Every structure is written in C-alpha cells, then in structure tokens.
C-alpha cells in the first residue's frame, strides 16, 4: 500500500444499509434537465471534501476540478501512458531531469477574461506546496519560479522524470492568482494557516478562478454539484453540455438511473451489477483492468524470517500460484498483473511476459528450500475491499494455491490500520498487499527496487541487486518516452525473476455510460474527463 494518501478505497457496505439507501434515494434519482441544451449527469459515490484544487485529492473532486481548472498537462481520453500539453506550448528537461522549462500558451484566459500567465502558475503550484494538504506531496522538493510572462521553470534536487504526469493531476490546476488573493488566498510559506480562499472557491461566486471549459454553478458535498459552461473559454473545443451535474449516488441507485436516463454516466457499479446490463442497447458497459495491483511479498531479511528470505522458497511461491484461478475472485475485466506497473501506464509489461504457473518447478524449488513443512503465516488487511475484491477472499485463494503444491500456509487477517503499521515497519514476513498509484507514471514504481520505500519494507536494502539498482538509477534520469518504456520493462522482468514481490492481479474497473454520449470513457486520473464528453 502507498504511504501517501490513496485516492479511493472501496469498502463493503452492509446489505441492509444499501437497501435502505436505495429506497431513500430512488426518488432523488431524477434531475431537472434544461430543454435548451443537453445535461450531462455523472453518478458517483461522493468522496469530495472541497473543490479548492490545491486542497482536494479525491476522485469526486477530480471530476469537478478537471472541468474548472486547466493544468499544464492532461491526457487524451484514457491514454495515461502519454501526458499531453494543455497550458504548455513547449517544454524541455535539462540537468539530468532536475530542471524543467515550460513555455506557456499565450492565448489562455480565465473565465472572467483575465489572461493566464506564469504568475498564476507559480502562485498556484506554490500554494499547493505551502498549504501542505493531502496533495502537497506531489510537488515535494520542487521549486517553481517565473522567467518572464509566459515561462515557468521548475527545479528539483533529484531527477523528476514523472513531473509531466504529476502536472496533469487536478490538484495542480491553475487558479487566477489576483482573484484568489482578493478572497484570502496566499502562496506564502505560512499558507497552511494563512490561506482562507477555500470557502470562496467552493461557491459559484468563484467564476473566473479557473480557465477550464466549465465553471461552478452549485455546490454540495452531500447531494450534487452542478457546472455551467465557461462562456469565455479559450480552447477550440467548446463545452459540450449546457449543464454538468455530478450526483452523490450509491451503486444500486446508479444502476437504476443509468438504465432510465440519457446523457448519463455511472462510475461505481460492481462487475456483477454491470453484468445485468448485458444486451441493453441504451448503455455502453466497459469492464477494464483497474490501476490497483494486488501483490504478494516475502520478506528478504533473514532476521525477520529464515523461511521467506530463502530464495528457493521465493521461487516456489512464484511458480506455485495459479494466476488464472486468482482472477476468478474478481470476475470479468480483471487481468493478471505481468509486473508491478499497471497495464495502462508507460513501461508496463505485455501479458505474454506474465509469470505462468509451473507446478513441477514450484515443487522442486520448495523441496530444495528445506523449509517445505515449516508453517508460514500470510498476513492481510481483513476489512478491506478494493474494486469488489475482498482481501479475505483473495488470501484464501492464495492459501489454497500454495497448499496444493505443498506449502504450509496459515492466514492472519487484521484491521487495515494494524496491518499497515506492521507492514510499514518492515516486520511482516509474508504479506498480501496492493498498490494504488498517486500519479500515472512508472517512476512511482521504483519504490519496489532495493533500498527504496517498498523494497525496504520487504527487507531488500540498497546493494541487494546491483543490476536492478543500476537500471533504476538510469530510469531516474531518462526522459525520452521510448527509452523510459524499455528501461522500466527491463526492471520489471528482473523483479519478476529475482525480487521478493509477486504481482497477482489488476481487478475490474466498471464504467457505464448511456449510448448517446461520445468520448465517455474511464480515465484513472479523473474517473471521467467531462471536458472531452459530448452528445452524439
């Protein structure tokens, strides 16, 4: 699991509570739609606390802020492997990817007509850093300065090849510095206590604070948030809807609404719920792999466990697992994780490189380990469910796989908070975990190399594998996409061969949209980029 805050964790809702909420909310499902222009409705189980971009860091806020605030980079539909410039005209990386120079477009203006310049970019990003909220870690160690009206320079003490992906995150949305300052905003070092602009940014009065295709029309963190078109939008692709409504709905109600609605999207359905829509021509159902990756690890430190640090034991685990049966826990849309980097990110491995079960090889390695009969405990967070997959069910499947080959595996589930404490302390011998990216870039997964965050938690200190560490160092300073892809694929192949990590599965991400929409696709950064959606 990430040390930084993860943006979404799906928890099981008791059936009785679900049914009660369905009854209570069904009547709320209808939203008045304008007869003059179409309305886009997005049903989403709210996680939003604020729409202030420099404070927000959750999926619901990302939908809203992507529409209101432009970022330096963005993505084309669901392509997360290739960030594309939005506010940036051109850019270059120098000094070993420690210095980035961005030339801004000169024709951008906010919704009140004020021009967007480097002063606004510097203010916004420094405000993000100095407010010190959940998303502040995105720019940790980054210095931002203006070099002319339309030039921004960012520097880092360490290579920052992931910066363009980070600068597509809605938390880096650019605000109108003059307007926000006039309503209590500051980017000063004391912004965490001195900035008072959040309330203003959570009201329709904040029109003009962003340069995106939409502006905030109505705001509630419990019911629904409405957006209106930015009449002065600078871009060539104008807003596709007269109103965008993002509603707080539980999944069963989303299922009802998307079947009877038009120009509507449902984000939180389970794979089982999605299957009930098969054959319904009014909706398009997408079942795709999530960016979450479930994985096992064996602690490589013999002082933690003489069993799990045994290399033959690790080889036996790798080839004993029946990866196809593990996928059955998630259902349609899930895929085996060939490596730690999710399939939609730059540097991911193709399915042909996924480890395949080899029972003969597993049994031979287990026998060679000399520890076959010794019990080993697999620990996991027993109260956590991600994308419809309960950790308890996954742990039971792994146990059955390993025991069928001759392992002596016992299970120990504990509350997530307790599990995390032991895992982060590096004292867990054998664990079932998952990784959710904070930004869609392969650099986030260097944490799995020796001496880095996850490597250390698995008892794999610096100096444990010179070849992998050399590749990781090269990846840190390589900026060309093709070269980056090759290096990260090499790292993963070698991790699969020698590392103490065992990628298992990317679970199913469900996305449902009515068939009268264009470009309505799931995007893991925004859930859905409503700026690209339009009526057919």
Return the CATH number at 251. 3.40.190.10
Quick check: 145 and 180 in contact, CB under 8 A? no
Contacts of 24 (CB under 8 A, 6+ apart): none
165 occurs within a structural domain? yes
The answer to whether residue 20 scores a pLDDT higher than 50 is no
The answer to whether residue 17 scores a pLDDT higher than 90 is no
4 occurs within a structural domain? no
63 occurs within a structural domain? yes
User: What pLDDT is attached to residue 1?
Assistant: 52
The answer to whether residue 30 scores a pLDDT higher than 80 is no
| 258 plus 389 within the same structural domain | no
304 occurs within a structural domain? yes
9 occurs within a structural domain? no
8 occurs within a structural domain? no
| 213 plus 338 within the same structural domain | no
Q: Which of 14-28, 254-268, 516-530 has the lowest mean pLDDT?
A: 14-28
| CA-wise closest residue to 486 among 469, 504, 474 | 474
- Residue given tokens 């963190």 in the structure block: 221
| 74 plus 153 within the same structural domain | yes
The answer to whether residue 18 scores a pLDDT higher than 60 is no
pLDDT tens for each residue of 151-180: 999 999 999 999 999 999 999 999 999 999
Element (H, E) at 89: strand 88-94
The answer to whether residue 371 scores a pLDDT higher than 50 is yes
226-258: b or e for each residue (b if 16 or more CB lie within 10 Å)? bbbbbeebbbeeebbbebbbbbbbbbbbbbbbb
| 336 plus 263 within the same structural domain | no
Task: Report d(CA 82, CA 74) in Å as an integer.
Answer: 9
| 491 plus 518 within the same structural domain | no
| 76 plus 141 within the same structural domain | yes
- Residue given tokens 């795709």 in the structure block: 288
Residues in the chain: 536
Task: Report d(CA 211, CA 68) in Å as an integer.
Answer: 7
Residue 496 sits at φ, ψ, to 5 deg, of: -65, -30
| 53 plus 164 within the same structural domain | yes
Centre a 10 Å sphere on the Cβ of residue 217 and count the other Cβ atoms it contains.
15
Domain range for 49 is 15-287+510-535
365 occurs within a structural domain? yes
Contacts of 91 (CB under 8 A, 6+ apart): 85, 100, 101, 102, 103, 164
Quote the number of domains for the chain.
Answer: 2
| 253 plus 305 within the same structural domain | no
| 350 plus 425 within the same structural domain | yes
| 228 plus 177 within the same structural domain | yes
User: What pLDDT is attached to residue 372?
Assistant: 87
pLDDT tens for each residue of 213-269: 999 999 999 999 999 999 999 999 999 999 999 999 999 999 999 999 999 999 999
Q: Which is higher by pLDDT, 36 or 315? A: 315
Query: In a 3-state reduction of DSSP, which class is residue 33?
Result: coil
pLDDT tens for each residue of 99-142: 999 999 999 999 999 999 999 999 999 999 999 999 999 999 99
Strand partners, 40: 244
pLDDT tens for each residue of 403-434: 999 999 999 999 999 999 999 999 999 999 99
Domain CATH number, residue 344: 3.10.105.10
Q: Are strands 335-336 and 501-506 parallel, antiparallel or unpaired?
A: antiparallel
User: What pLDDT is attached to residue 388?
Assistant: 87
Quick check: 379 and 285 in contact, CB under 8 A? no
| 55 plus 165 within the same structural domain | yes
| 297 plus 216 within the same structural domain | no
432 occurs within a structural domain? yes
Judged by phi (left if over 0) then psi (alpha if -120 to 50, else beta), residue 308 lies in: alpha
Average pLDDT over residues 58-73: 97
Q: What is the CA radius of gyration of the chain?
A: 24
312 DSSP 8-state letter: H
């Amino acid at each position: 699991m990430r040390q930084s805050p993860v943006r979404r964790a799906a928890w099981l809702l008791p059936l009785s509570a679900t049914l009660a909420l369905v009854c209570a909310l069904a009547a709320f499902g209808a939203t008045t739609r304008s007869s003059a222009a179409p309305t886009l409705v997005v049903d989403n189980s709210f996680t939003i606390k604020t729409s202030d971009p420099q404070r927000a860091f959750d999926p619901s806020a990302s939908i809203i802020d992507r529409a209101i605030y432009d970022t330096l980079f963005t993505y084309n539909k669901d392509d997360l492997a290739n960030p594309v410039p939005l506010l940036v005209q051109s850019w270059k990386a120098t000094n070993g990817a420690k210095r980035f120079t961005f030339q801004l477009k000169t024709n951008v203006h906010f919704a009140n007509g004020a021009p967007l310049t480097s002063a606004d970019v510097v203010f916004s990003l420094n405000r993000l850093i100095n407010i010190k909220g959940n998303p502040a870690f995105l720019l940790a160690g980054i210095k931002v300065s203006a070099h002319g009206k339309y030039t921004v320079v960012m520097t880092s003490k360490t290579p920052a090849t992931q910066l363009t992906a980070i600068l597509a995150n809605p938390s880096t949305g650019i605000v109108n510095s003059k307007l926000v300052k006039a309503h209590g905003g500051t980017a000063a070092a004391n912004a965490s206590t001195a900035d008072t602009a959040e309330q203003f940014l959570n009201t329709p009065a904040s029109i003009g604070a962003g340069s995106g295709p939409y502006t905030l029309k109505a705001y509630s963190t419990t019911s629904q948030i409405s957006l209106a078109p930015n009449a002065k939008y600078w871009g060539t692709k104008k807003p596709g809807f007269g109103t965008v409504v993002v509603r707080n709905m539980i999944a069963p109600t989303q299922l009802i609404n998307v079947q009877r609605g038009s120009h509507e999207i449902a984000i939180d359905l389970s794979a089982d719920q999605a299957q009930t829509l098969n054959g319904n021509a009014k909706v398009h159902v997408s079942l795709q792999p999530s960016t979450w990756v479930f994985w096992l690890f064996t602690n490589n430190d013999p002082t933690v466990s003489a069993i799990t640090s045994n290399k033959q034991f690790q080889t036996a685990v790798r080839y004993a697992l029946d990866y196809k049966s593990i996928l059955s826990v998630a259902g349609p849309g899930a895929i085996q994780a060939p490596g730690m980097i999710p399939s939609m990110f730059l540097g991911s491995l193709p399915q042909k490189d996924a480890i395949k079960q080899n029972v003969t090889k597993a049994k031979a390695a287990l026998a060679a380990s000399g520890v076959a009969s010794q019990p080993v405990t697999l620990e996991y967070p027993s109260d956590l469910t991600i994308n419809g997959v309960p950790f308890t069910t996954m742990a039971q499947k792994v146990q059955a796989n390993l025991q069928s080959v001759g392992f002596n595996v016992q299970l120990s589930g504990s509350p997530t908070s307790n599990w995390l404490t032991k895992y982060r302390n590096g004292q867990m011998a054998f664990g079932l975990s998952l990784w959710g990216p904070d930004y869609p870039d392969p650099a986030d997964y260097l944490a799995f190399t020796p001496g880095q965050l996850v490597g250390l938690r698995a008892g794999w200190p610096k100096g444990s594998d010179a070849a992998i560490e050399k590749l990781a160092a090269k990846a840190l300073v390589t900026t060309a996409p093709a070269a980056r892809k090759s290096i990260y694929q090499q790292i993963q192949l070698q991790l699969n061969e020698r590392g103490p990590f065992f990628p298992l599965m990317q679970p199913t991400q469900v996305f449902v949209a009515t068939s009268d929409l264009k470009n309505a696709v799931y995007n893991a950064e925004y859930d859905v980029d409503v700026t690209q959606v339009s009526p057919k």
